Amino acid sequence: MPTQLDREMLKFKFHLISLSKLDYHLFLKSNKPEEIILGILADFKEDEPENAIKQIIHRIEETAEGGFSLKRYFNQLRILAQLRNS
């Protein structure tokens, strides 16, 4: 994957970070459900996947505001979980 953009009037370089190499606990510390759901793509380390997913779901429930947003976050979590498994 490219890590730089080199155009006539713009030059930009950046580092890629693989979410699968980050500890999922890092995402659990967030107070933003949008960030917490990314934990599903991270490394569960020695934790059982079922336990890690339960923790992610619990944190989403704690931080989401309202039933509509909770459903939206769970739908996003489901989609990301499918990406993890592919």
**Max CA distance (Å), the chain:** 50
Q: Name the nearest CA neighbour of 38 among 57, 58, 24, 54.
A: 24
The pLDDT of 27-37, averaged and rounded, is: 97
User: pLDDT class for 81, splitting at 50, 70, 90?
Assistant: very high
User: pLDDT class for 53, splitting at 50, 70, 90?
Assistant: very high
Distance CA 80, CA 86 (A): 10
